[in-house]
Structure formats: structure tokens, C-alpha cells
Amino acid sequence: MDTSRLTRLPDELLEAIVFYLPPHDTVAFGATCRRSNKITFEPLVWRAHCVQEYRYWESRHELKEKLSRPPAQTKWRLLFNERMRTDKKALELFDALLETQQFRLERMEKVAAMGYDVKELLLKQRDQTPDDALDVLARRYHANALLGSIHRATALEKWTRLQNMQMVRLEEVLGAYDLFVLAGSKGDLSDMDRELDRIAESIRFQDPDFDTWSVRLKATEIARWLRAQNLVGNPSEDDYHALRNNFISIALFDEPHTSLPLQSVAIYCAVARRLGVNAKPSNYPHHVHAVIEASASTTLDGAPRPSRDIDFSNPSDVMHMDPWRSSNEVPSQHLSTRLMQMGAPLAQHAHHLGPSTTLEIALRTSRNIMNSVQEARQRNTAPRVSYPDVDAAWYSMLWSMLVLGDSNTAALLHRRRQILPYLVEHYQAHFPEDLNLLETLVAPMFESLREHHVLMHLITTARAADANQRAPSRRPNKADLRAFWIPGQGGVGYRIGTYFKHRRYHYEGVVVGWDTKCAADPRWMEQMQVDSLPRGREQPFYNVLADDKSVRYVADENIESLSRQPSEAILALAGRYFKRWDSASGMFVSNIREEYPDD
């Protein structure tokens, strides 16, 4: 007879103990006897493991709905085992894609197709891979690339729903832009959702009678609370167009909580809706306000109102707030006067004072991002490593302009044709892992058009290149080794992984490929005046990854090797081609040996 103290405990205490066990120990404890096996099969135990181990879930699991039901109605242990199997399969694919360039893109697509069910796994690879891991840079880089691909697919799903006139919330549509630039531990749509819920509950908690207040009182209190917490507005208008001000998640989670009026109003409206206030962004030119409508049965002040449509000229039906500037109501007459001063026809006043569509607010956001990026580039204020990333923000603008548009098919097609070359260029330069998005979302937009054939050729070529083994570029035999390795003596003097500074333009970079002499086309050589270089076109040329994320073609005579610790900008990018930085040799360790086996 088993007389251990543990087995003499009542089931309730054993269940409480099991709740503190990690999943593997739970299984081990359940294998000890029938009684412990029964206890560890309790749905509550595995529901706790699902919630504690996995923060992110694909929408198909309907986790929020499952959590609201009685535990016994969901097979939580099976659900947990499914996630474990997904992790195992994804990690096998991830490890394989790090080993070889062949089928790397295909493997990345398979991992990305698992969506949010692999986000925890990828976050661990990106954020918890130790610095001394043999492939630390490659592991972090490709995990981050996959996270970006998953986030962008989610963003495009939201915009596609909006374009197809399906239900999607304003904060989801605007938060989709954030998914393109998401870099930290917070900022996903679910994070924003939880934070907006928390803010709404905090406002409600201020007064137990809050839900009985009139709409007008609620509307002003929401603005007052948000401004008191510095969650809306911008205390420094000097950086009004700063890129960070276009993103809701940055306003919610990062100090200082600055934003453009549009994002401030979007935050206001999302919180207001959670508190029973019907608030929407306005159509007002140059500055977005919140339009607050009376309820179906009462005026803004709580008096009974007849059942009729909202009258946007009636102050008892509609009010305006500008949470970016103030917690006070903005008089409609003041807004009308300003419209007259701007020369807006009287017939259009009702439109400007009324609520905008979510589609128009999304396109307005795209235009704001475009202006912010262009201003940053003109002022040269975009640092080498920045958050939000300038290229990712520009990419979000291009995608939104491509996906979203009005019902005028001809106008939308015209804009899509204008945007397409820039989108493809950006995809090729920075986001090659998005090939599947190009194939499934972009190509169908141009069915039967010339652009469709161009896209399909690009896609087919990329897939063939991914499937084929790279042709090796061999260094000469030992008899020629000396000349081949010494710079300036007629050979390729720099190896793959050489960290350098450009002698003329002083940017930093790393060598990712070489040719024994200039292999560019004659037009490029003429444009870049290659023959005017002291050593001309016959010297070695190198494909290099620069610290501004561009890939360039540089003459041997302009390479000045560096042996010190690389810059953060280079380390953040190098994982695309290298495993790690080796301080002993002063070189990056190549992960592209299929192409350059002797390097």
C-alpha cells in the first residue's frame, strides 16, 4: 500500500499542485498512477497550460470563445498537443532553412503559413538565442523575417476584408500599418485590443455611475482621461510629421505617447465604443475630429428623442471632440466658420462635419505615412537603424494603396498600375519572403493584363532560383592562390564576410559576393564611370550589403577592410548571409558556402 504523503492528499490539493507543474512534468506525474492520471486529465489543467505557454493563437482556434465556455466543452489537452506538434514541425523547417539556401524560401513559406501558432517559437528564436550560438545572426534574422511575413499577411487580411466591405474595426485597419513595422514585444493587434480594453475599464472605474451618464458627459470624460494619461496629442509640434506619430501601437505603448490627430482620434473612438459611445473620425479637411452621435433613444444630454435619423446640424444629436488638442467639446458653429474661411461650399459642410468611412481614414493614413517618410528622407533624418523602420513603413503605404480603393474600378486599377513597380522593387530589395503574398494577392488583381504576365514570370523565376542549388564560384588552385588573395595584385583580395568601409563614401558594409572583374552591363559601367577608376573594369568587384540595407556593387580599390566590432546596423542585417561574427578572425562566418565554397 502506498503511504507517501503526496498520495494521502485530497484531490483538490493535488489539482492545485498540478496547476504549478510545467506541461512535461504534468504528463510525468499523470503516468505514476490511475489517480494522478485522472487528475492530470482535468480540462482546467490543460486550459491553464494553453494560456500560460501560448499567448498568440491563430483565429481558427477561436480561443477567446473557448475560454468563455465551461472547461469541459473544449478538449484542452488535445489543443495543447496540437500546438506542441506545430512547434516541432516549424522548428524542423526553421533549422533546415538555416542550413542551406536551396528551398529556403519554400521552407519559410511553410513556416509562415502556420501563422500565429508559431509566433511564440519565432519570438524565442529571435529574442532568446544566446550570443554565443554558432548561428546566432542567421537565427535571429530569419526568425524576425518570418515574424514580419506573418504580421504582414495578417495586415493584408484586414485590409482585404475592408475592401470587400466586410466587418472590420477601425483600430484593426489602422493597427495593420503597425504590423509592418512591429519590432518590440508589444504592438500586435491583440496587444492593442487588450490595452484599449484596459483603458476603457480604467475610465469606467473612476465612477461607479459612469454607465448612467449622458453621452456628452461620457465623451468629454474619455478625452479628459486620455489627455491626463498623455495617450493622445503631441506636446511638441516640431516633430508633428515624425514617422512614429502614424502608428497607434507606438502611441499606446512607447514613451512619449505622441501621435497625429488621426491616430489620437482613432484611439479615442476605440475607447469610446467600448464605453457605449458612438464615436467616429470626421471628414473634416486638414484635421481629424471625433464625431459623437446621440443614441437611438436619447439626445446627447440624455433627454428622450424621437426615433429619427441623426441630424449632423443638430447640437443635441451630434457633437465634436478634438482629443489631440483639448478635452473640451468643439462647437459645431466654430467648425462651420472655419470651413467657410477655407472656402468649402455650404452644401459640403454636412459631409465635412459628419463621420468618415473607415476606408477613407485608412487611405488618409497612407498619405500621412508617405509624407512622413518623404520628409524624413529629404531631411536625411532617418538613422541607419530606426524604429519604426522607414522601408517597412513605406512598404505598408504601398500595400495599402494597392489593396484599398473606392468602387471606381477604372480609377483603382489605374492607381494599382502606378503602385505596382514600386511595390515589386521594394519586395525584391527588402522583403523576398513575401513572394507568396505577391502570388496570391497581387497577381490576381491584374488577371488578363500585361502586368499579370510580368508578375508570373518574376514569381516563376524566383521559385526556380529557390529550388536550384547555387552554382559555386571557386577560387583558383593553390598555384594561383597568392595572387588571388592579395588586394591590388590582380586577384580577388577580399573574402565573403569581410567587414569594410567604403574609401570614398565612408559607409560601412560587408562583402556578400565577388566577381574577378566588373560583370555589370555596359550601361551601368558607363553611368558609374567604371573606366575612369584608377584600376578600371578589370579589377575585382564585390556585391556588398551596406549599412543602409542596400546591396551595392563596389570596386576592389574602394574597399577598406575593418576588423573591429561591426556596427549595430550591419549586425541587424548580416544574418541574411552569415551565421555569426567571429571576433578572432575579424570576419563574418559565411552561411552562403554553396555559392562561395572556398570562402
CATH number of the domain residue 239 falls in: 3.10.620
The residue out of 21, 54, 79 marking a domain boundary is: 79
Same domain for 71 and 220, yes or no, is: no
3-state secondary structure of 180: helix
Single out the residue of 189, 149, 151 nearest to residue 169, CA to CA.
189
Length of the chain: 599
- Residues 343 and 535: their CA atoms lie apart, in Å, by 64
Residue 441 lies in a domain: no
Residue 98 lies in a domain: no
Same domain for 342 and 225, yes or no, is: yes
Q: What b/e readout covers 194-224, taking b as 16+ CB neighbours within 10 angstroms?
A: ebbeebbeebbeeeeeeeebbbbebbbbbbb
Give 507-572 as a DSSP string: -EEEEEEEESS--S-HHHHHHTTGGGSTTGGGS-EEEEEETTS-EEEEEGGGEEE--SPPPHHHHH
Residue 452 lies in a domain: no
Q: What is the pLDDT of residue 595?
A: 92
* Distant-in-sequence, close-in-space partners of 254: CB < 8 Å, separation ≥ 6: 184, 244
Q: What is the pLDDT of residue 82?
A: 94
Instruction: Report in angstroms the alpha-carbon separations of 33 from 28, 36, 487.
Output: 10, 5, 72
Residue 541 backbone class (left: φ over 0; alpha: ψ -120 to 50; beta: rest)? beta
pLDDT tens-digit profile, the chain (599 residues): 354 666 676 767 777 777 777 777 776 666 567 676 667 777 888 888 899 889 999 999 999 999 999 988 999 888 999 999 999 999 999 999 999 999 999 999 999 999 999 999 999 999 999 999 999 999 999 999 999 999 999 999 999 999 999 999 999 999 999 999 998 778 899 999 999 999 999 999 999 999 999 999 999 999 999 999 999 999 777 788 899 999 999 999 998 899 999 999 999 999 999 999 999 999 999 999 999 999 888 889 988 877 666 666 666 789 999 999 999 999 989 999 999 999 989 989 888 999 999 999 999 999 999 999 998 888 765 445 568 999 999 999 999 999 998 777 888 999 999 999 999 999 999 999 999 999 999 999 999 999 999 999 999 999 999 999 988 988 765 444 444 445 444 578 899 999 999 999 999 999 999 999 999 999 999 999 999 999 999 999 999 999 989 999 999 999 999 989 999 889 999 999 999 999 999 999 999 999 999 99
Instruction: With 0.85 as the threshold, say if the pTM is over it.
Output: yes
Same domain for 345 and 486, yes or no, is: no
Same domain for 71 and 214, yes or no, is: no
Residue 127 lies in a domain: no
Same domain for 195 and 311, yes or no, is: yes
Same domain for 188 and 310, yes or no, is: yes
* Distant-in-sequence, close-in-space partners of 136: CB < 8 Å, separation ≥ 6: 129, 130, 579, 580
- DSSP 8-state class, residue 471: P
- Residues 175 and 560: their CA atoms lie apart, in Å, by 43
Q: What is the pLDDT of residue 488?
A: 47
Single out the residue of 369, 381, 380, 330 nearest to residue 353, CA to CA.
330
Q: How many domains does the chain have?
A: 3
* Distant-in-sequence, close-in-space partners of 312: CB < 8 Å, separation ≥ 6: 291, 318, 350, 353, 354
Quote the domain boundaries for residue 283.
Answer: 172-357
Residue 103 lies in a domain: no
Q: What is the pLDDT of residue 37?
A: 66
H/E element, 216: helix 215-228
Same domain for 211 and 70, yes or no, is: no
3-state secondary structure of 78: helix
H/E element, 113: none
- DSSP 8-state class, residue 447: T
* Distant-in-sequence, close-in-space partners of 509: CB < 8 Å, separation ≥ 6: 499, 500, 501, 502, 544, 545, 546, 547, 552, 554, 570
Single out the residue of 325, 341, 182, 190 nearest to residue 259, CA to CA.
325
The residue out of 20, 44, 79 marking a domain boundary is: 79
- DSSP 8-state class, residue 247: -
Q: What is the pLDDT of residue 311?
A: 65
Residue 369 lies in a domain: no
- Residues 556 and 510: their CA atoms lie apart, in Å, by 13
Residue 195 lies in a domain: yes
CA dihedral 100, 150, 126, 397 (to 10 degrees): 110
Q: What is the pLDDT of residue 377?
A: 83
The residue out of 59, 79, 99 marking a domain boundary is: 79
Q: What is the pLDDT of residue 38?
A: 67
Q: Is the alpha carbon torsion for 92, 140, 547, 182 positive or negative?
A: positive
Same domain for 207 and 344, yes or no, is: yes
* Distant-in-sequence, close-in-space partners of 365: CB < 8 Å, separation ≥ 6: 174, 177, 246, 262, 400
Q: In 275-346, where does DSSP find H-type helix?
A: 332-341
Say which CATH number the domain at 14 has.
1.20.1280
Residue 521 lies in a domain: yes
C-alpha grid cell for residue 525?
559601367
- DSSP 8-state class, residue 343: T
- Residues 579 and 122: their CA atoms lie apart, in Å, by 17
C-alpha grid cell for residue 190?
491583440
